[in-house]
Structures are given as structure tokens and as C-alpha cells.
Amino acid sequence: MAIKDNSRKPRQFQIGNLVLTLSGLLLLTNIFLPGILGPSISRVPYSMFINQVGNGTVERASVSQEEIRYQLKPAEGEEVGQVFSTTPIFDLELPKRLEANGVEFAAPTPPKNRWFTTLLGWVVPPLIFVAIFQFFAARQGGGLGGGGRGALSFTRSKAKLYVEGDDTKTTFADVAGVEEAKVELEEVVEFLKSPQRFLKIGARIPKGVLLVGPPGTGKTLMAKAVAGEAGVPFFSISGSEFVELFVGAGAARVRDLFEQAKKQAPCIIFIDELDAIGKSRASGPFAGGNDEREQTLNQLLTEMDGFAVGDATVIVLAATNRPETLDQALLRPGRFDRQVLVDRPDLSGREEILNIYARKVKLDEAVDLHQIAARTPGFAGADLANLVNEAALLAARTQRESVAQADFNEAIERVVAGLEKKSRVLNETEKTIVAYHEVGHALVGALMPGGSKVAKISIIPRGMAALGYTLQMPTEDRFLMSEAELHGQIATLLGGRAAEEIIFGSVTTGAANDLQRATELAERMVMTYGMSKVLGPLAYEKGGQNNFLGQEGMGNPRRMVSEETAKAIDGEVKGIVEAARDQARSILKNNRDLLEAIAKQILETEVIEGEKLQELLKQAALPDSIPALA
């Protein structure tokens, strides 16, 4: 797809430029050639004027508060005397002196405007407005299809019009990992290509298709692929571009967008971040009011209802990652009556996406994209594109001609844990504490159910605050977790703090993030998943909407509960976390020799990974008895 461009300036811009050019010439003439407005008159000091009056050489004078203009008596051979002017001073004796010397004097007559001065007085003010108009027109030029627009046309749509171009055309071959969404949208493509085949049997294609999914999964790319496959114009706009400071501008832009789309039918309108204008009107600070966003939403609802049979080939695609916030009127049949989930890809989908982006870089023959896909569960399409780019940058930084497997491994760690901070030097005591802390995570994680495979232990600082890290890579995509596996995750998070207690007899601030994550997971177990024998299978979390992360959204307030229930919730959460801590301590005490051995090795090498790490972790064993779960 290519953006349509129209570089020819509209007629009003050409006329404005001509008017500005003529006015500029007139003003320059007035400034630099003032002689055309009248004869030039020499100015003299006031004292010279008084001396000439006393000598009797002044014939007549015109006296005003700003200027005295006088004419001398003609000299021999002259018919008319010379004319001079001077600036008056406060002199009450001047009239008597002029009368005594026989000078004819009077006040000047009111000046008559010459035609040129009159012309400037009428023309210059409008020209100022023309100049302002041209200034804003130049800044706000562009618009729908790339053509020029007026400076004050805030009601025009800001949508970009993409037309088909073989060099930049996007098709379904450029999209991978969302096969189910492709199947749903292929029907839309078929309708755009041959609508009569559907209309002949009375079938009606959905007017609106809502693409729902987490950020970075390719919703915008999918919409462009639909337009590319169908070979139709594609209008793209963000929901925030409808909203303006001026009330009613957003609604006018919606009208203008649909008018333009109907002229280009069959075509597709794509609205990204629909929640910017489509939030529920029953909530928010302006609920029930008449604010700009609500007027824009009302106009969108009206336009989607107003499609006649002839306009049926205008299809609205929209994308959002917060469908729960949308107004129900948008989601009813007849508007956005079909929702297509564009979710994070599975293992095979990630491998397909990596193959697409890997075509743009030069790969080493030993690169195994399947292994990379297996190490990146939960990565969206945008994450994988960034991963390939990071690996290419690492290869270029080391002056190599191709991207190796090691580059991808380092890129994964950059994305997951952040950049290495080798400049952040730890003293020996801190480095020792970090080593035992990370080995504690690794040992507990290797023995607990539900724990991912421990792939690497490092005491090299990464990211904003991590002084070390334990990299765990899931062995498969998981969508459900048991109660025992959640307990194992909490125990793994607390393994670092437990190691500090066992080895040093005290704890540090390094476990702050571990405690935060463990507490949140325990709260979800009690308040969302109903995994509490005391409180039973009840949900105490308010508005637990899925946030596409495989877990319920955090930060939701509790429902209205009694004081006794709130205390019971806090008690259950505390019991789960303390039981997991006891499990971690029991495991580490049973494997203390191995804990110290691995910690000493990592203090020497700073990093342990691969088969060497797996051989060490295989020596870990569960204790004969483990503390009971809460």
C-alpha cells in the first residue's frame, strides 16, 4: 500500500500568494520610494527659522503643533521662493514676531488623503489576515490523501488514504501466527472482491469488524493485509485524531471520513485505538453529559447505522486492546458485530513470524529459529520483530557479516532482563550476597512443580535495578496452572530471600521485587481464583478483566466486603506466602552444600548456563518432609 499524494496547490493558495506578492511590492515602494507621495521638503533648525523671520526673508508660514512649514521670498530670477519646514517649540511670542515682520501666517488646512494612501488604508488590513491564513495553511497543509487543506478546516478528517502499490503492498503472506484471525478476515476479503456473490443469496457482510488483542500482536498489520488482499483503498486513522479542542470538530471529522470513504467504495476504514472515542458513556467524569468525546462517539454510531445497500462495500475495521471499556452500543449487531481475537502466537506461530522477519537480515547457517521460538513464549509479533533487529545490531556491532545464534540468545536476555550494566561495580560483600540470592532462586525453581527450566544464572547487573538474575525459560506454552504450581512459583520467588537468611542470618533489600510479585500472586489465588479453603470459591476482586497476559489484571480494587472478610483475606494471603517461604528454606537447607558450591563457582565465572548448569541442578533433591501448604 502507498500513501496517495497530491502536490499541486489548491487555487485559493495560488490567489493568496499573488495577493501577498502585490501587497509586498506596494509596501516596499512606499518605504523605499516615498517621493512618489509628494515633493521632498528640507527641514531646518528652529533658530534658523527665527533668524530668517527677523531678516524679513520669510513670505508666508503655515503653523501647527507638529510642524511649521514656511516659504521664503523669491530671490532674483526666481518666480517662487523655496519651502522649508521646522519643528516648533513652545514660543508664545511667535505670532507677534511674525506679524511685526510682515509674514503672512495661518493654520494648515486638513490634509486630503491621496488615492495611494487611501488604497493602502483599505488594502493593508485585509492583507494581514491573508498572510495569517497562508501561514496556518502552510503548517496545516496535507490532509486526506495528502492534498492541501484550508488553515481553519479542523472539521476535515485526518485519515491517511493508502492506495494499492506493488512495492509496499501488504498481504496475508506478511502476517503469521494468527491463522484463526486470517480465516475470519478472508471472508471480508472475498466480499470486497466479489460482493454480488454474497448479495445474490441475501447474505450480509458485517459492517464492522473489531480486532481485539494485546499490544504488538499485529492488529494494524492485519487490517492493512485485508486491504492489500482485496486491492481496495484503505483509510487509516487513530481514535485520538477525532478529538479536538473545539466542540463538534470530532463529529464533523467522522462525517467527513465516511463521506470520503463512500466516494472510494469499495474500501476499508481502519480506526486504531478505538477506545479513545468509544469508551462507555455510562462511566467516566462526563457520564451523561455532552462532551466532545461523547459527541464523536454518537456520530460514529449514526454513520455506522446509516449505511444503505449501495454503501455496503464500506467496511469498518477497528482495533483495541481494551474491549471491556467500549460502549455496548458499538458492539451490538449492525455495528461492530464481529470480534476477531488477534492473540499472542503459539510456538509454531512464533517460528513463522521469525521466518518472515529473518528474511530481512543475513543469518548464519547454524541459526535455529525453532529453538529461538521455543525460548520466547509470550512474545508478540512486535516483540519478535524487535528481537531480530536487536540480534542484527549485536552482529553489526562486532563487525560480523551474519547474525549468529549467540546474538539471538543475547537479544532475548536484553528484551527480558534489560541491558548489561558492567559499569555498575559491586563490592565483594554485595557480590557474594547476590550470588547466594540467585542460586537460591535457581535451586528452588528446579525442584518446584510448575517452575520453568532454569537456563542461566548471572551476577552481572542488568536493567534498571537488577544486580543479578536467574533466567527461567518455559518448556512449553501454558494456559492453565494448578494450585500446586502457583505455590511453586511463589516459593521460587522467595528462594533468594530464603538463601540470604540461611547463609547470612539476615536479609537485604534485594528481595523487594520478589516479595511484591509473590504477594500479588497470592492475592490472585485468594481473591480471583478461589484457592482458599477458608474463604471458599468466591471472587473478591472487583472487575477482574482479562488483560491478555494469561492472568487477571492487577490493581483492581476489592469488592465491598466486611471487616471480618478483609481480615480473612489478609490472613490467607500471609499464610500462603509464609508457607512458600518455609518450603524454600526447607529445600535450601537440604541442599546447602550444593548451594555453596554453585555460589562459589558463579563468583568466579559470574555466569553459569547450558549443560554445566543443568548438571549442577540435577544434584538437587527434595527433603524427606516439606512444610504443608497453607
The full DSSP string for 568-606 is HHHHHHHHHHHHHHHHHHHHHHHTHHHHHHHHHHHHHHS
67 is catalytic: no
Could you tell me the CATH number of the domain that includes residue 388?
Answer: 1.10.8.60
Which is it for the CA torsion 503, 506, 511, 517, positive or negative? positive
Residues 110 and 221 in one domain: no
E strand or H helix at 163: strand 160-163
SS3 239: helix
318 and 366 share one domain: no
Secondary structure letter of residue 475 according to DSSP: S
Residue that is last in its domain, among 417, 450, 476: 417
- 10-residue stretch averages of pLDDT, the chain, 630 residues long: 47 56 61 51 85 87 85 81 85 84 80 60 69 63 44 56 61 85 85 80 82 88 84 82 67 84 84 85 57 80 66 79 85 84 89 91 91 87 91 91 90 82 78 93 87 82 78 77 90 94 92 92 92 88 50 54 89 94 93 93 89 89 69
d(Cα 532, Cα 490) in Å, to the nearest integer?
15
- Which structural domain range is residue 411 located in? 347-417
How many Å separate Cα 506 from the centre of its chain?
Answer: 45
Domain match, 258 and 357 both: no
479 within some domain:
yes
CA-wise closest residue to 527 among 577, 573, 578:
573
Q: Is 202 left (phi over 0), alpha (psi -120 to 50) or beta?
A: left
Residue with cell 460502549: 327
pLDDT score, position 143 = 42
Per-residue pLDDT at 206:
77
Q: What is the pLDDT of residue 152?
A: 46
* Dihedral sign (CA 328, 330, 333, 338): negative
Domain co-membership, 481 together with 582: yes
Are 166 and 293 found together in one domain? yes
Q: CATH no. for residue 449?
A: 1.20.58.760
Backbone torsions φ then ψ of 275, nearest 5 degrees: -65, -15
Q: Strand, coil or helix: what is 61?
A: strand
The DSSP code sequence of 492-518 is HHTHHHHHHHHHHSS--GGGHHHHHHH
- Cα 249 to Cα 300: distance, rounded to the nearest angstrom: 13
Q: How far apart are CA 225 and CA 232, in angstroms?
A: 11
Residue 422 resides in a domain: no
Nearest to 412 by CA among 439, 442, 460, 378: 378
295-299 contacts at long range (C-beta below 8 A, 24 or more positions apart): 295/247, 295/248, 295/250, 295/251, 296/242, 296/243, 296/250, 296/251, 296/253, 296/254, 297/327, 297/330, 298/251, 299/250, 299/251, 299/254, 299/255
Cα(532)–Cα(50) distance, integer angstroms: 112
Rounded Cα–Cα distance for residues 151 and 134 (Å): 7
Kindly write down the DSSP assignment for every residue of 245-261, as one continuous string. SSTTHHHHHHHHHHHHH
Task: Establish if 367 belongs to a structural domain.
Answer: yes
Catalytic residue among 438, 500, 523, 541: 438
Determine the pLDDT at residue 418. 77
The verdict on residue 6 lying in a domain is no
Q: Are residues 390 and 462 in the same domain?
A: no
Picking from 368, 391, 417, the residue at the C-terminal end of a domain is 417
Residue 358, helix vs strand vs coil: helix
pLDDT score of 151: 42
State the helix-helix crossing angle for 249-263 and 292-305, rounded to 10 degrees: 30
In a domain, 475, yes or no: yes
Q: What is the 3-state secondary structure (H, E, C) of 322-346?
A: CHHHECHHHHCCCCEEEEEECCCCC
What does pTM read for this prediction? Answer: 0.67
Same structural domain, 479 and 534: yes
If asked whether residues 489 and 581 sit together in one domain, one would say yes
Residue 7 domain-assigned (yes or no): no
Q: Give bridge partners of residue 208 from the DSSP assignment.
A: 316, 336
Task: Judge if 499 and 570 occupy the same domain.
Answer: yes
Same-domain status, 517 and 477? yes
Q: How many domains, in total, are found in the chain?
A: 4
